[in-house]
Structure 1
Amino acid sequence: MAADEFKPNDPRLRPPFPSEYPWTPIPTPASDGAKVSIGLMESSRIRGPGVALSSFAKEGEEWTLPAFSFLVEHGDEAILFDLGCREDPENFTPVTKPALEKFKVEPQPHPVFRLRDGGYDLSRIKTVILSHKHFDHFGNLETVAAFDPLVVVGPGSLAGIGKGYPEDEKSIWPSGWLKDRRFAELPQPTEKKGDKWTVEGREGEKQWEKMACFEEGVDWFGDGSFWLIHAPGHIVGQMMGLARVTTSPPTYILLGADVAHSQETYLPVPSSASSSDPRGTEPVLNGKVPFLEDPVRGVHDIGTLTRMSAEEDIMVLLAHEAPALNVLPRWPEKLDEWKENGWKEKKQEGVEERAKERAAQV
């Protein structure tokens, strides 16, 4: 078997146990204002074969997943973290068409239109942060032209995007976006290890730091309220976002992007490194692992979701987490009081029971 080929239940696809991750304490809030507020919007729903998304899916089973976008508010300033799918999927570039035949997009109002129609002051949005360069996350960047935010992408993203379509017929990005929008790409952590650097269009210096179970995080606002986390296993440049949504006590939401596509990839949390692991491995199709460019790094990233989920004050929320649909409120309501409302436990209901059922069948 070639080194880059995998088999079902390949040990290389087993995420590390939580105890295997070093832990750097999350800095305590410097003030009551050192927090953000999170609003969830659903940009679309995507239907596709479950076997490409989970090792637990049955052959022929179709899954429907949401594509979330998040409004992150910090004082008078706001971020849009991911834009989901565009509202007019027929206008994706041609190279995207095969994926759209396999995964059907059911569009809803674009997040920018949803905010506009809800009376939100779009001029507050200074930044759009794209967790990664896939079509179900970059939305339609033409919609942000009126307020011209800085568009932030992770390390190595722009090289992968290239010149854009039609200059590059294989690009999933329109070239007009690259010409008309202001982009900032975060530097590679390996090139800036320990160094401070600046982001064009933003005040203050930044650096890659260890935080929680992560080796590479950036304190975006400088007060610990919102961190960008390097997690490139799914695709080069992918970033998660860790948001502190309350300060007394501090509670957090980890915006997990596409580190996983199913809760049962990172849950339930194993009790110890010596116990059996109830989590599922990533699916394997024809020796390849769908949706993980770097499978070994990818399962490391998945393990960080488990480690963070072990903390009672942290709720993980994936970009396509279907169980959240019937639990979490949509913007203009906020997710900030998730702990008080028990939303973490509610969206995870049934996970442990299903894990026990699977174990009994082995």
Structure 2
Amino acid sequence: MTQNAAVAPKLSNPIKAVSVVSTGTVDIRPQHVRSNGTPFLWWLMTSRRWTDPRPINVYVIEREDGLVLFDTGQDRASVTDPNYFPTSGLTGLIYRRLARFQIDSDQTLTARLASIGYDIADVHTVVLSHLHQDHIGGLSELSHAEIVVDQREWDDLHQPNPENRGMLTSHINLPGLRWRQVTPRATNDPAVAPFTAAHDLFGDGTLVLLPTPGHTPGSLSLLVRQPGATPLLMVGDVTYDVHLMQDGHIPGVGERARLRETTRAINTLRGRYPNLAVLPAHDPAAGGHLSGSSWAERAGVTTAN
């Protein structure tokens, strides 16, 4: 089966454009980006170095019926409200040492979308790669949209002490949000092999959710396909650097065995789509990968960092 034959040939609602915006920047520890085998708490508590600022990316998919977002970025309140994060005990210490954010007043999700000519009111669907706080920050601005999350991620949110796993319920369980939990189902579609489960978001083959656990139990990636365009894979925090992923390296946050399995699966998928553009949430090169794809030629890719 050829690459284009793997995509539905008749599209009732084709993708018009794909863009990326960043809701500020984050500094993290080098071991966060690339595991050296040291246990999480050890490197977190002993590291004295930070990376250079990395983007907090939100991917914007324009369809004829409106906008789909992959992730929603970081909330500006996280740098203005001293009580946004847990502050006491070991949990508070973990949050203080894990990341440093810089988010200006014009870097809210609404403002970032407006900077590339979009109205947040036109967002009808949001896919969350996972529920960590730097991916759910725009939820308060999206009460009009449907919020899609993996069922396993949702279940993990409701286990005891979710804040110890990076999920802040007070910023997720907001009144008025419309949630939809999905479970990728078994598939024998060769176009997504070696993945054996998938969820077709709109039933036309253009936006397909793939289970990519490891960073969290219910992490999702989004495969974007359309005839004549570079296939895209938005991967959240499966990796922080595409080149490290290509070499088989995994980040330092998550379940190592599953991260290795997911990394192998994505690298195998790259063999099926040799020009696949892998787009992480915090890779400084992601905007360039998107701008260098065929989407830039056919749909006017825009980046706003």
Alignment TM class, shorter chain as reference: 0.7 to 0.9
Q: Would the alpha carbon gap of residues 298 and 111 (structure 1) be closer, same or farther in structure 2, given more than 3 Å must change?
A: same
Distance 1:234 1:169 in 2: 15
Report if aligned partners of 2:28, 2:50 keep a CA contact under 8 Å in 1. yes
- 86, 96, 106: which one aligns with 1:94: 86
Matched, 1:234 2:215: yes
Return the alpha-carbon distance in structure 1 between the equivalents of residues 160 and 136 of structure 2: 13
Partner residue in 1 for 2:27: 47
SS of the residue corresponding to residue 169 of structure 2 reads coil
1 CA distance for matches of 2:134 and 2:5? 31
2:286 maps to 1:324: yes
Aligned to 1:63: 51
Distance change in 2, residues 1:124/1:322 (3 Å): same
Q: Write 1 or 2 for the structure with the bigger share of helix.
A: 2
8 A contact 1:93–1:173 mirrored in 2: no
Within the candidate set 181, 186, 198, 1:217 is matched to: 198
Aligned residue in 2 for 1:139: 137
Any idea what the Cα deviations from partners look like across 1:251-301, whole Å, max 9, x if unmatched?
31111111112223322xxxxxxxxxxx25336xxxxxx3123x2221111
1:297–1:211 Cα change, 3 Å = farther
Query: Secondary structure of the residue that 2:230 maps to in structure 1?
Result: strand
Distance in 2 between the 1:143 and 1:262 partners?
Answer: 29
1:266-285 correspondence to structure 2 within 5 Å: 266-267=245-246, 279-282=247-250
> Would the alpha carbon gap of residues 118 and 323 (structure 1) be closer, same or farther in structure 2, given more than 3 Å must change?
closer
Paired residues of 2:242 and 2:278 also in contact (CA < 8 A): no
Distance in 2 (CA, whole Å) between partners of 1:125 and 1:103 is 29
Contact 2:13 2:64 in 1 (8 A): no
- 8 Å CA contact retained: 1:26, 1:212: no
Hey, what does 1:337 align to over in structure 2?
295
| Equivalent pair of 2:109/2:138 in contact (CA under 8 Å) | no
Partners of 2:121 and 2:97 lie apart in 1 by: 36
Amino acid at match of 2:29: P
- TM-score calculated relative to the size of structure 1: 0.65
1:29 matches 2:8 = yes
Q: State the distance in 2 between where 1:159 and 1:131 align.
A: 15
Q: Deviation per CA, 1:176-231: give whole Å up to 9, x if none.
A: 734321111113x5xx657xxxxxxxxxxxxx966422211111111111111111
Partners of 1:104 and 1:85 in 2: how far apart? 12
Measure how far apart 1:51 and its partner are: 2.1
Q: Which of 128, 133, 138 is residue 130 of structure 1 equivalent to?
A: 128
| Matching residue's letter, 1:48 | I
* Distance change >3 Å, CA 27–CA 116, structure 1 → 2: same
Change over 3 Å in CA distance of 1:143–1:34 after alignment to 2: closer
Residue in 1 aligned with 2:275?
313
Task: Find the aligned partners of 2:159 and 2:111 in 1 and give their Cα distance.
Answer: 27
* 1:354 corresponds to: none
Give the whole-Å Cα distance in 2 for the aligned partners of 1:25 and 1:119. Answer: 30
Change (3 A) 1:338 1:315: farther
**Contact 1:38–1:335 (8 Å) recurs in 2:** no
Change (3 A) 1:156 1:143: same
1:139–1:175: structure 2 CA closer, same or farther, 3 Å change rule?
Answer: closer
**Quick check: 1:265–1:282 contact (8 Å CA) kept in 2?**
yes
1:74 to 58, 63, 80: 63
Superposed CA RMSD: 3.5
Choose the corresponding residue for 1:296, options 254, 257, 279: 257
The 8 Å contact of residues 253 and 316 in structure 1, kept in 2 or not, is answered as yes
Distance 1:116 1:173, change over 3 A: farther
- Where in structure 1 are there 5+ consecutive unaligned residues? 1-22, 195-207, 268-278, 284-289, 344-362
Question: Equivalents in 2 of 1:182, 1:219: separation in Å?
Answer: 19
Q: Distance in 1 between matches of 2:244 and 2:76?
A: 29
The answer as to whether partners of 1:51 and 1:61 remain within 8 angstroms in 2 is no
Aligned with 1:112: secondary structure?
helix
Q: Give aligned-pair identity as a percent.
A: 21
Q: Distance in 2 between matches of 1:88 and 1:234?
A: 24
Q: Distance in 2 between matches of 1:255 and 1:327?
A: 11
Partner of 2:216, secondary structure, is coil
Aligned length: 275
| d(CA) in 1 for partners of 2:242, 2:153 | 26
Contact 1:164 1:175 (C-alpha < 8 Å) held by counterparts: no
State how far apart, in whole Å, the 2-side matches of 1:45 and 1:176 are. Answer: 21
